[in-house]
Amino acid sequence: MSNCIRIATRKSPLAMWQAEHTAALLKSLHPGLEVEIVGMTTKGDQLLDSPLSKVGGKGLFVKELEQGMLEGTADIAVHSMKDVPVEFPEGLHLAVIMERENPYDAFVSNNYEGLADLPEGAVVGTSSLRRECQLADRRPDLQIEPLRGNVNTRLAKLDGGQYDAIILAAAGLIRLGFESRIRSCIDPVDSLPAIGQGAIGIECRIDDQRVHDLIAPLAHRDTTDRVLAERAMNARLNGGCQVPIGGHAVLDGDQLTIKGLVGTTDGKRILRAEATGPRAEAEAIGLRVAEDLLGQGAGEILAALHESH
């Protein structure tokens, strides 16, 4: 028992990869440690046919994993930071943010190199309102069609011929060995990534010191500051619902710069803001971007979206 750590994870190939990656890092840090992976099915996995924006609900992909930790069937949960809600159940917290993979959106197609060379009226698959909003702004002529399912399923749908191109997170493709399918990474000016995109986080019981000691060395300082700034912005804006929000922070030495975006799904209104400051104030810088967006009218856009769901 005391020499074992159990990892709760979803069973999608990407989630399993991330859990196994974390397991391998833990084993190499702590020789002799036993690591057990506990695969679980979440509500989000069961509702793969409905658009995520309609399914709604916070923590669709994490609730069952959290239940497992609270009941003691698992010790930690490994999540894509992008899917981690702002709030945690009592007794649990986010203890560690690991090193970020490529945080950008990837353009995947069998015929075209990037957004710029897609012909007029081309069909692009994505079920992310954030991607849809920015695509519609950049290329109002494109036809955007829903695309759900795990990374492997989405690639199979592209190959089935229903889409001219699809947009996915570069990180998921790289982790699963599909880097060669990325025709180009989309410039963040054209598609500002999701809060936390490309980063993996570890959640655990707040009072479990043994587990904290085991996972602490996995924390990555630069990624942590960047993602904390992004999450502070997001928390002030909405609390994690499915709305077109982008947020991405970068570091230049000790200077942290974060860009934020809120828009309407049709891309007809897009608000943008940016703030810079010392990394030690990461969360305050994220909040400043949120306040700037709210000052421009983000509150109305978000309220209208919440109502329509």
Ligand X SMILES: NCc1[nH]cc(CCC(=O)O)c1CC(=O)O
> Which stretches of the chain bind ligand X, using CB under 6 A?
80, 82-83, 151, 168-169, 171-172, 197-198
Cα–Cα distances (Å) from 76 to 15, 21, 37, 162, 222, in that order, read: 13, 14, 10, 39, 22
- Residue 80 phi, psi (nearest 5): -70, 125
- Rounded Cα–Cα distance for residues 49 and 51 (Å): 7
* Token pair of 272 as six digits: 């943008």
Closest CB 112 distance from ligand X, rounded Å = 18
Q: Which is nearer to ligand X, 41 or 73 (CB)?
A: 41
Q: Which is nearer to ligand X, 10 or 139 (CB)?
A: 10
Residue 278 DSSP SS3: strand
Closest CB 152 distance from ligand X, rounded Å = 11
Q: Which is nearer to ligand X, 171 or 258 (CB)?
A: 171
Closest CB 237 distance from ligand X, rounded Å = 18
Q: Which is nearer to ligand X, 224 or 288 (CB)?
A: 224
Active-site choice (45, 49, 83, 159): 83
83 is catalytic: yes
Closest CB 280 distance from ligand X, rounded Å = 25
User: Burial level of 123, CB count in 10 A (0-12/13-18/19+)?
Assistant: middle
Tell me if 151 sits within 8 A of 14, measured CB to CB: yes
- Rounded Cα–Cα distance for residues 113 and 70 (Å): 47
Residues carrying an active site annotation = 83
